[in-house]
Amino acid sequence: MNGTVLQMRDVVKRFGTFEALKGVDFDLRAGEVHALLGENGAGKSTLMKILAGVQPATSGSMTVLGQEVSFGSVADAQAHGVAMVYQELALATDLSVAENLFLGQLKPFVSHRALARQAEPLLAKVDLDVPPLARLGSLAVGEQQLVEIARALGHERRILVFDEPTAALSSGETERLFELIRKLRQDGVAVVYISHRLEEVFALADRVTVLRDGEHVLTRSVADLAPEDVVRAMVGREVLRFERQPSVREGAEPFRFRYEGPGLRPGTLELLPGEIVGVAGVVGSGRNRLLSTLFGVNGAAWVDDRPVRSPAEAIRRGMFLVPEDRKLMGLVLDLSVQSNLTMAILGRLTRAGLFIDHPAESAEASRWIERLHLRPPEPRKRVGDLSGGNQQKVVVGKALATGPQVLLLDEPTRGVDVGARSEIYGVLDELAREGMGLVVASSDTDELVGLCDRVLVFRHGEVATQLSRPLDDKEVVAHVTGARQVA
Amino acid sequence: MLQAQGRWRELLARFGLLLALVVMVVVLASISDRFLTTSNIINVLRQISVNAILAFGMTVVIIGAGIDLSVGSLLALVGVVTALLVTNTGLPVWLVLLLAVLIGVALGAINGGIVGYAGVAPFIVTLAGLTIFRGAALVATDGRPVSGLPPVFTTIGYGTFLCIPLPIWIMLGVLLLTYVLLRHTALGRAVYAVGGNPEAARLSGIPVRNVLAFTYAFSGFTVAIAAIVLTGRLNSAQPTAGVAFELDAIAAVVVGGTSLAGGRGGVWGTLVGALIIGVINNGMNLMNVSSFYQQIVKGGVILAALLIDRALSRRSG
């Protein structure tokens, strides 16, 4: 059973002058879940892309079942039984669910009905109940992720790589995925599991490999490790579990919101200055809808009885949204760090309302680069070239530059490494202390428990339960998944 | 060693186009001793002026992730309306020129308004504009050229200032204006943001629809300027002028390194792009290459420029 299926030896990958992998070894046994950990930029994804045939290694060797291989393409890797589930959805949103499942293997003439029939067992495997001919784009992000997983399961697999598969999933969906992975393990599949969430790793994995700055740091059985050991290996320094003191200004005048919209029943929300309110719920519960509605993106919202009809109006009313997907909604990747940071306030940094006041703009950008510990601290760098954590800091900086009284954050630390994550938490805590009101929607229960004064649990488009301090992660999960119906 | 290689690559990616232009000039100069003469250089610059002016406006539209196919037809329409106004009404010439600019801006704004507010694909909107404007120009003139223009037009087309023809000065003026717009105004920055990621721009409070409408209005502005210059050069206005000019303008923008996907590029690149196309045309004329072959060579060079640019600027990772 414990036969080695994969051996990677001394793998080096260079991008131009940058060495992403500096001679990494990696083994995989049949029937194990092997967690691959490291901060953003440690080389995890690079290593797995080499395994999946997305890109070739610069040097080094790779054997699958004792046979020396070198994959020239994804199809090549698939022929050897290797498949990957990507962190960023790699699907065609305008095709149907079924077409996506068989993308790359479609015959010249496609019978939709036959395709739908073939799709059903795969969808059943991931326990996803959607019509196979539904347009993929009409599904929630979490459901799309399950389609992606179903697709990877569609072939005879010896090695399956999951790159942060739970980033877009709710707690319930995550549990479902774990069951699936355990079943794969029983069937003798070797699973590589990349995640930023240690609790998932300890719940699921048999062995752990940690990379740091493109180098192999350790490989050990999970049983021989404590979470602190892993974090220390990842960052090379100690990291504390986040906890904060409440800073709610009791008795102050609250911000009063009213909202209604598609996928959201009419409701109200009162937010005190200095308060951090969490929003929990499964995908499609209204969790993320709430924030976009409050910000005037869709539906209808009022703050203190004044309407919010567009993001521009929301900004004028003192709000700002840090959106869920920084690449799709948060940043203009081709523009510089500075241009992104000042994007929402450039009108204020002009002379005669027209010409950009360049010194004022640089000063403003430097201010946020410093406050958010942006690395590298280069205002002219293209945002698309930054790591995920630093990109997220730019999105937060852009929001803060507008000087909002209310900050809405949708999944503020998705795909962000431990170091940047704790820095972002620190900044959010400071903001609350300065009297800002924050609303944080998150699928990460630890994040909500560590950060929030109050958690609203959404189900079917409305607040099902409200939980206050002291918050307990198990209780939050129980309410989110519906295990506990009424508080 | 590796470091140095990386830097070379970066330099090449950045100045590769300019290098291509220089190489072309050197090659042509060695083939024809008439090429590198002052009069020929001025000739090339004057020949590219109308295309370059159109291409500067097109650059702004394309950075906003749009495209404007109507510029050639709009050029003809603005030209004939200007000529008709100046020959058939008693309006002073300065007012007619001002009206010409306003008409260009207004018709461009209508294109842009439909793109921005109705959300129709710019390719379709401006394709409709292409046939409507051409039709309107033909209707207005009954298909005949309008001549008998006052001498101001010959001055615009043939006059010089400091020994340099006015069309070149006008081209440089529009270049400077577009450069300042793109690099030194909040509106120009908004064009990059909207072209790069409209959703992020909207969530940052940028009025995306108005910005889009503006880019087409600005294109209409440069069309009107180009129409006045061309009318001056021809000393008449032709309803059939400017056919396929949109394609030359787009070619200059794209050869100049502005991405058709939007959000990236600039107006200096467009100038170099227009120069490359102009130098190719001029060089082949000097070498008496048949105009049939010229078209093939021009297309090939455009393709080659893009392939080289793509190879050099390919991002790692």
Interface test with A, best of B204, B264, B316 (most A CBs within 10 A): B204
Nearest residue of chain B to residue A408 (CA atoms)? B203
Alpha helices in A351-417, H assignment, sequence order: 358-371, 388-401
Are both A283 and A228 inside the same structural domain? no
Are both A70 and A193 inside the same structural domain? yes
In a domain, residue A91? The reply is yes
Are both A221 and A318 inside the same structural domain? no
Whole-number pLDDT of residue A484? 60
Please state the rounded mean pLDDT for residues B244-251: 91
Interface confidence, given as ipTM, is 0.84
Which residues of chain B have a Cβ shorter than 8 Å from any chain A Cβ? 2-3, 5-6, 9, 180, 184-187, 189-190, 192-193, 196-197, 199-207, 263-264, 316-317
pLDDT above 80: residue B160: yes
Owning domain of residue A174? 4-235
Q: Tell me, yes or no, if the pTM score tops 0.90.
A: no
A394/A374 Cα distance (integer angstroms): 8
Are both A114 and A31 inside the same structural domain? yes
Output B27-34 pairs: Cβ under 8 A, ≥24 positions apart.
B28/B279, B28/B282, B28/B283, B28/B286, B31/B283, B31/B287, B32/B283, B32/B286, B32/B287, B34/B286
A327/A343 Cα distance (integer angstroms): 15
In a domain, residue A380? The reply is yes
The DSSP-derived string for B150-176 is: -HHHHHHHH-EETTEEHHHHHHHHHHH
pLDDT above 60: residue B1: no
pLDDT, tens digit (0-9, with 9 covering 90-100), for A247-280: 888 888 899 999 998 888 999 999 999 999 999 8
Sequence-ordered list of residues with C-beta below 8 angstroms from that of A70, at least 6 positions apart, any chain: A56, A57, A62
Q: How many domains does chain A have?
A: 2
**Domain finish residue from A173, A203, A235:** A235
Are both A199 and A303 inside the same structural domain? no
**Domain finish residue from A207, A235, A263:** A235
In a domain, residue A247? The reply is no
Please state the rounded mean pLDDT for residues A117-138: 85
Nearest residue of chain A to residue B10 (CA atoms)? A16
The DSSP-derived string for A173-200 is: HHHHHHHHHHHHHHTT-EEEEE-S-HHH
Please state the rounded mean pLDDT for residues A126-143: 82
pLDDT above 50: residue B51: yes
Domain B36-312's class? mainly alpha
CATH of the domain at A114: 3.40.50.300
Are both A224 and A369 inside the same structural domain? no
In a domain, residue A197? The reply is yes
Looking at CA atoms only, how far is residue A321 from chain B in angstroms?
Answer: 7
Highest mean pLDDT among A230-234, A367-371, A474-478, B148-152: A367-371
| A398 interaction partners in chain B (CB closer than 8 Å) | 204
Nearest residue of chain B to residue A49 (CA atoms)? B317
B276/B291 Cα distance (integer angstroms): 17
pLDDT, tens digit (0-9, with 9 covering 90-100), for A269-324: 999 999 999 998 876 788 888 999 999 998 889 998 899 999 999 999 999 999 98
- Provide the token pair at A249: 């200004």
In a domain, residue A59? The reply is yes
- Provide the token pair at A138: 């009409």
In a domain, residue A244? The reply is no
Are both A423 and A328 inside the same structural domain? yes
Nearest residue of chain B to residue A386 (CA atoms)? B317
A311 closest CB neighbour out of B189, B203, B317: B203
Every domain of chain B and the residues it spans: 36-312
**Mean pLDDT for chain B?**
89
The DSSP 8-state label assigned to residue A36 in this structure reads: E
